[in-house]
Structure 1
């Protein structure tokens, strides 16, 4: 996994782009990522180091799933479904750890953290497409 500094740099870049160039869906997804990051920092127990189920992180991930699902259910765009699906995959990591407590802590941590990067990529692509769609709509209305 990337260093925390690299993660925060990517988070900042993705969310800044979504807030500056995106519409409501992109902004809500970015806000969900920011809120989940800060909440995870509050609830994460470094002493546990993913040796057991990280209950606080599980709760934050469940709330993020609810947020992404809310966005997906209210929009006419397809990309929020992908984001919600990837967040659901993160939840599966927590379930697997609960089922198999001897799951290696590094495997659990990687599975719980990995999917944020594809989520970031999808938010960027969704923002880019939204930006171009808005520009095309503006051109069509002036023509």
Structure 2
């Protein structure tokens, strides 16, 4: 029971971030949070169907797609949080490449890096949402 606590905490944190982004964020924050939650659900479904054995190439493709989404958001909206999220997601993609090419690195360390990166990306979306919310409030007060 105790080993599931981190998964429940992560799920609550992820869905809380998405709710905050959808309620208070701008278009880029909503798009980024939506893409990230969609990728999260897709990776859960993909891992469930593979029996959580090994690292399927589908997870690599999902993370690569999320990287391209964050790059497109940073290119389109010219904000700083998608640039940071893209850099962190690039580290995750590089971990996948190291796993797929069977580099002599402990697999557990790469998986740990990838899991910690997901929390950092959530943090980037939260920070971007907070600043978009505050900018909107300041614009409303200036009127």
Note the C-alpha offset of 1:125: 0.9
Q: Deviations over 1:57-98 (max 9, x none)?
A: 101101111111111110121111001111111001011123
Partner Cα separation in structure 2 for residue 114 and residue 90 of structure 1: 9
1:38 aligns with one of 36, 41, 44 = 41
Determine if the alignment matches structure 1 residue 7 to structure 2 residue 10. Answer: yes
Query: Does structure 2 conserve the Cα–Cα contact (< 8 Å) formed by 1:49 and 1:105?
Result: no
- In structure 2, runs of 5+ residues without a counterpart are none
Over aligned residues, Cα RMSD in angstroms? 1.8
Normalised by the length of structure 2, the TM-score is 0.88
Please give the TM-score of this superposition, normalised by the length of structure 1.
Answer: 0.88
Q: Which runs of 4+ in 1 moved over 4 A?
A: none
Contiguous gaps of at least 5 residues in structure 1: none
* Worse overlay, 92-101 or 12-21: 92-101
Which position in structure 1 is the counterpart of 2:89?
87
Report the equivalent of 2:53: 48
